[in-house]
Structure 1
Amino acid sequence: MLKSRFLWKVWGSMALFMAVSSIIFGFFVGSQVEQSALKRIQGALFDQSLSLADSLSSYLDTEESLPIKLLEGTTPGVMARITIVDSEGKVLADTDSAPAKMMNQLDRPEIVASSASSFGFSLRYSDALKMDMVYVAIRLTSPSGKAGFLRLALPYRVVDDEVGTLRNMIYASGGAIGLGLLMIAYYLAYRLLNPIAKVTRRAYAIAQQQYQVRLPNRRFDIGQLSEIINEIALGGQQRIDELTKNRNQLAAVLSGLTEGVIAFDLEQRVLHINDAALSMLSLNVEQALNRNFYELPASRQIKTAVEKCLSEQSNLTATVKFGERTFECCCLLMTSDKEEPSGGIMVLEDITEKMHLEKVRSDFVANASHELKTPISAIRGLVETIIDDPRMPEEVVNRFINRINSQAIRLDAVVQDLLHLSRFDSAEADSNLSRIDLAELARKIYVTKSYDAGDAGLDINLKIESEPLEVDGDSEALNQLIANLVDNAIKYNIEEGKVEVRLYKKRSSAFVEVEDSGIGISAEETQRIFERFYRVDKARAGSVGGTGLGWAIVKHIAQAHKGGVSVDSQLGKGSVFSVNIPLAEQEIDHAVKIS
């Protein structure tokens, strides 16, 4: 039993803990006592200096240095070193050294501190006495009005002696108590671990499939341990069944994950692959399970990540391409109970959409910066030109001011559109919902936009197939949605073209369609027209004053109202934009009855 490493680890750890605890406790207590002693000595010196101030202030009026015996005779019973210094730092009297041999004291820390406050304190090395000293200084004023300083000092060894004695007592008492506790701990550990060693030997035999071996019952908790091990020997199959059940549950959890998970061994052989990973890599179970990674029809980057994880025995994360999809591949090294590598786990996350959204965000920031910078630069250039030429003709100034105004209007339009987008990107869009009749709203917009269409030489018509068309929505937002669709139909139309606005209900949704006979949109561009700042015809958009946000605002307003937007267009033949928004509850019931 004395050779038991566990016994000596327990006993040795306890001994080390007690020794370290005693040292740390002694250090902190000693530090606290040291601080307390310093404060006490400081207070004592300060009190003594105040009591001696009246009797020693008259020495400031003397022109010559005072003898040591004269000063000692004036302050009987005072153990501290006493020094009197005039306002210029000259030592007039000192109980331990001749004043003439002492340097100017005006730069001493305690003197400097007492000049700024009622007293000064310092702990420093004394060149005259060759030892650390504790100093306290106060200001003096002689009967004739001369200023100076009174300084008292004690050797720091007084504090060292007090702290050292206390620390020795702590270490001695801690050692004695610790030794007694260690002896008791050794006895208890021996009594506990001796039967455990016997149980361990028989348990090892059971682990070697000698299930006929039984452990004897012991006192205390050892008897319970024996019973538990006996139950393990009798219930081995039950444990195996439980492990099988847990494995199946883990497989069910992995199959339900949206991330792809692949487990592999040191030979890069696939041990497990969930449904998400099979879908991402376009594989079936037979193609992947128990196959080497190099045999899988997967991306070379994925195979390299597995090889690097095992060769470098470290976790790694990489972004890999597989066909048209992008994955974030994370390889985690698995270790056995012996902390040795046993394989790894690969987690695949499809970040194709995330990468697309990041690109959209980056493009949006760049486009927004450009759209804001252009009018700002124009305004700044025009203003600087006016400022630099104070004799500019009034006609030119007015023309510049008109251009500044047009650029300011353009800048305001961009900012307003950005604010609208921000509003419908957030959850605040639901806060202003009310019952809205889209038919009535469309009539008002039709009246307003008829003038714009007439100015552009276009024919505009409104067709409302069913009324009312009530939805729960934001009146201002829905007004802007329809207005933006009509505006774009007018702006991107041909000469003497047509615009038709149609409203109808279908099942549980209200539909708003705007058809134009304009320039049309290609199939490739219809996928992007609802992106922010995207323009189909950039030259035409600049001439008609568009911000590139109109269709994006339409999309976000529709989505904020739990609806959607679509476009059907052909180049040179015009476009049809369709927005659907869920009807209000009573409108849904009415639509169902009609159908």
Structure 2
Amino acid sequence: MFKSIRWRVTTLYLILIIAALLMFSLTLKGFLEDYFITQLEDNILKETRLVRSLLKDEIVSNKRVKKIDRLVDEYSNEAEARITIIGSEGKVLGDSEQDPLKMENHLQRHEVQQSIKTGVGKSTRYSETLKINMKYLALPVKHSGNIVGVVRLALPLTQVKEALADIFSRVINAGLIAIIISLILGLSLTKRITKPIERMTEVAGEMAQGHLDQRLMVTSDDELGRLSYVFNNMADKLKNKINEISDEKNKIEAVLSSMGDGVIAVDNIGKIILFNPSAENFFEVKEEEIIGKYSLEVTRSHKLDQVVMESLEKGEEVSEEIEILYPEERIIRVKATSIKDQDEQIQGVVVVLRDITELRHLEQVRTEFVGNVSHELRTPLTSIKGYVETLLANDNPDSAIYKRFLNVVKDEADRLEQLIIDLLDLSKIESGISGKGYEAINLNQVIEDVLTIVMPKVSDKELNLKIDVPAELAMISGDESQIKRLYINLIDNAVKYTPNCGEVKVKVYEDDEKIWTEISDTGIGIPSEDLPRIFERFYRVDKARSRNLGGTGLGLSIVKHIIEQHNGMIDVESEVEKGTKFIFYFPKVK
């Protein structure tokens, strides 16, 4: 409760009120006490003078003690005070409270000595006789210039104490009432002060939770009203600034999320503070799981960590091409740029990661492709050139030799032409260029046309061709010329690489969504180590035999591209000297 400003202010207010009342009470007590005692002294002085004038003759005679004592008793009742008559030598001549003969000498009493010396003696002390505090006042009695005795009156101070107690009782009651009123007024006053502050605190808390539309009611023109106005103005500017920052943040996040390049940001000690989605894909992690970790812990690449640390230390841009092994092998181009504040102090590093694995692979494939094409073109051209030069060098060639050489030149030219045709076809297929649009295709008709083309070769080799194709097949969607090319390549390969009297089988079947084809033979087969590469351009298991059979090394690559363009998939099974089976499918037309 006392942690509240309202109660603190109220408590301080009450302390000030109580302190003021105490100061007032103490001052009043001193003033009233002095006032009452002064009044008491004046009254006693008057009565003492009166008693002295009445008893002066008796005191002068100093012989009639009983009479003096009797008169003292009478006057005491009327004055309501204790009267004591003392002789010049200190002997008590009369006393209204005790027997004067039994009383001790009073000459050395303070008020008596003071009256003898100054004319008036005053004293306040505890009376051993009456057991209360008394106020004593003494006047000397003179005769012929000599002091012949002293008249002393005494009044108890209980009346003064009772009067003061009554006054202070009233003062305390009034003070309590004043304190209660002050408490009520203080709470009411402080509530008017603290309620706007509490509202400000509540609104600030709501704003801290993200509710930026909260505002204060401005109900006065005082300091609190001006503070409320300034607070609302601050809230408006804060909302605009946060919205502006949020918009910029969203833009940056959108850019970072849509970037194909990975972006990593680290602080000045190398701990990750940002990891965009592309970087998450690179390293197969989630940003929320790795924030605050060192880059080496997440990337597990010392080379990448060296690039980051170098940029942190030098404050310069560092670019390098590195290879990472985790979670998979990649070649990445890294560009690290330091983040600096307005004082040019390095605050961290932003690292951009670009995956160039495919680019390097394509460069390698291109290099190999150029080499393979050059080699494949050079071989027939060299053969053609050699035979032509031989013919030109011989002025009278034998007609049989001439004809044989020309047949060789023709075969090499045909092979060269087929190679160029295959390259052009492969280029068209890879680039998505087709002579015709996609249409519904009847595979029964396609296979029948293809078999018509290859039947002469089947007959020449006396092969056993088995066809297992249902009479009714669902339609597929595609380019009919490319589908025919696919079947020609696969069936022609099966015929080429199957010895005489072997077997070639074409089987077609379907399930709910796909139409499957299996083309198998009992030919030479493919070694298991070569199976993963048979769909590469110009790859041949037995190069010499492939060339002799008229192969260009592009047929299976064309087959794979046609199947992929038609949303299909192909697989191969083979065993050396036992045969090969190609299995592929096309989706049905929905």
Q: Distance in 2 between matches of 1:244 and 1:376?
A: 68
The answer to whether the 8 A contact 2:340-2:348 is kept is: yes
- Identify the match of residue 336 of structure 2 among 331, 344, 350: 331
1:508 Cα deviation from its structure 2 partner = 3.3
User: Structure 1 pair 445/252, CA: closer, same or farther in 2 (3 Å)?
Assistant: closer
Aligned amino acid, residue 450 of structure 2: I
| Partner residue, 1:559 | 564
Task: After TM superposition, list the pairs within 5 Å mapping 1:98-497 onto structure 2.
Answer: 231-232=233-234, 235-236=237-238, 239=241, 243=245, 247=249, 250=252, 254=256, 257-283=259-285, 288-296=290-298, 298-323=300-325, 324-338=329-343, 341-429=346-434, 431-497=436-502
| Separation in structure 2 between the aligned mates of residue 232 and residue 431 of structure 1, nearest angstrom | 68
Take 1:426 and 1:321, find their aligned partners in 2: how far apart are those partners? 30
Q: Secondary structure at the match of 1:488?
A: helix
Alpha-carbon separation, structure 2, partners of 1:573 and 1:331: 57
Identity of aligned residues (%): 33
* Partner SS for 2:533: coil
User: Are 1:281 and 1:298, in contact at CA under 8 Å, matched by a contact in 2?
Assistant: no
CA distance in structure 2 between the partners assigned to 1:239 and 1:520 by the alignment: 73
- The Cα offsets for residues 350-391 of structure 1, whole Å up to 9 and x where unpaired, read as 333333233222212211111111111111122122222323
SS in 2 for 1:395: helix
Tell me if the contact between 1:424 and 1:557 (Cα under 8 Å) persists in the aligned partners. yes
Q: Which residue in 2 is equivalent to 1:192?
A: none
Shift of 1:431: 3.4
Question: What's 2:523 paired with?
Answer: 518
Cα distance change of structure 1 residues 491 and 229 upon mapping to structure 2, 3 Å threshold: farther
Call closer, same or farther: CA 1:475–1:251 in 2, change over 3 Å. Answer: closer
Q: For 2:418 and 2:255, locate their aligned partners in 1 and report how far apart those are by CA, in whole Å.
A: 51
Q: Secondary structure at the match of 2:293?
A: coil
Question: What is the identity, as a one-letter code, of the residue corresponding to 1:417?
Answer: D
CA–CA distance in structure 2, aligned partners of residues 506 and 354 of structure 1: 39
Q: Describe the superposition over 1:67-101 as per-residue Cα deviations: whole angstroms up to 9, x where unpaired.
A: xxxxxxxxxxxxxxxxxxxxxxxxxxxxxxxxxxx
Measured after TM superposition, the shift of residue 454 of structure 1 is 2.8
Compute the displacement of 1:262 (Å).
0.9
Q: Secondary structure at the match of 2:573?
A: strand
**Aligned partner of residue 428 in structure 1, secondary structure:** coil
Cα offsets for 1:505-542 (capped at 9, x unmatched): 33233333211122333444322211111112223212
Structure 2 matches for 1:54-93, cutoff 5 A?
Answer: none
The 1:353/1:569 distance shift into structure 2, 3 A limit, reads farther
Deviation at 1:306, TM superposition (A): 1.5
Residue aligning to 2:551: 546
Is the 8 Å Cα contact of residues 315 and 333 (structure 1) preserved in structure 2? yes
**In structure 2, do the counterparts of structure 1 residues 237 and 492 end up closer, same or farther at CA, with 3 Å as the change threshold?**
same
- Distance change (3 Å), C-alpha of 1:236 and 1:437: closer
Does the aligned pair in 2 maintain the 1:460–1:500 contact within 8 Å?
Answer: yes
Give the drift of 1:459. 1.2
Contact 1:563 1:579 in 2 (8 A): yes
Q: 1:472 to 1:287 in 2, by over 3 A?
A: closer
Shift in CA distance, 286/426, structure 1 to aligned 2, threshold 3 Å: closer
Most deviating of 232-241 and 357-366: 232-241
1:309 Cα shift? Answer: 2.6
Change in Cα spacing, 1:469 to 1:439, as seen in structure 2 (3 Å) is: farther
Give distance in 1, aligned partners of 2:461 and 2:503: 11
Displacement of 1:547: 0.4
Q: 1:378 to 1:264 in 2, by over 3 A?
A: same
User: Which residue in the other structure is 1:576 paired with?
Assistant: 581
CA contact (8 A) 1:466 1:505 kept: no
Corresponding pairs, count = 359
**Matched AA of 1:485:** L
SS at match of 1:448: helix
Report the residue type matching 2:422 in the other structure: D
**Alignment check: 8 A CA contact 1:466 1:503 kept:** no
Contact 2:461/2:499 (<8 A) preserved = no
Answer whether contact 1:466 1:504 (CA < 8 A) is retained.
no
2:407 is paired with a residue whose SS is helix
8 Å Cα contact 1:327-1:351 kept in structure 2: yes
Distance 2:298 2:433 in 1: 49
Give the letter aligned to residue 520 of structure 2. Answer: E
Q: Contact (CA 8 Å) 1:439, 1:469: kept in 2 or not?
A: no
TM-score, length of structure 2 as denominator length: 0.55
* Mapped partners of 1:553, 1:286: distance in 2: 45
Distance 1:582 1:291, change over 3 A: closer
In the aligned structure 2, how far is the partner of 1:384 from the partner of 1:311?
Answer: 69
Structure-1 separation of matches of 2:435 and 2:413: 31
Question: 1:469·1:504 contact (CA, 8 Å) conserved in 2?
Answer: no
Specify the code of the residue in structure 2 equivalent to 1:298.
Answer: R
Give the 3-state SS of the residue equivalent to 1:429 in structure 2: coil
Do the aligned residues in 2 keep the contact of 1:446 with 1:462 (CA within 8 Å)? Answer: no
Q: Tell me which structure has the larger Cα radius of gyration.
A: 2
Once the two structures are TM-superposed, the CA of residue 546 in structure 1 deviates from its matched residue by 0.7
Q: 1:534 aligns with which of 535, 539, 548?
A: 539
Q: Please, what is the CA RMSD of the aligned residues? A: 3.1
Q: Cα–Cα, structure 1 residues 472 and 346, in superposed 2: closer, same or farther, change >3 Å?
A: same
Letter in 2 for 1:506: D
Distance change in 2, residues 1:474/1:233 (3 Å):
closer
CA distance in 1, matches of 2:565, 2:296: 48
TM-score for both structures, normalised by structure 1: 0.54
Name the CA shift for 1:234/1:451 in 2 (closer, same or farther; >3 Å). closer
CA shift in 2, pair 1:530/1:228, >3 Å: farther
Q: CA deviation at 1:339?
A: 5.3
Deviates more, 1:295-304 or 1:541-550: 295-304
Provide the C-alpha distance between the structure 2 equivalents of 1:546 and 1:331, rounded to a whole number of angstroms: 50
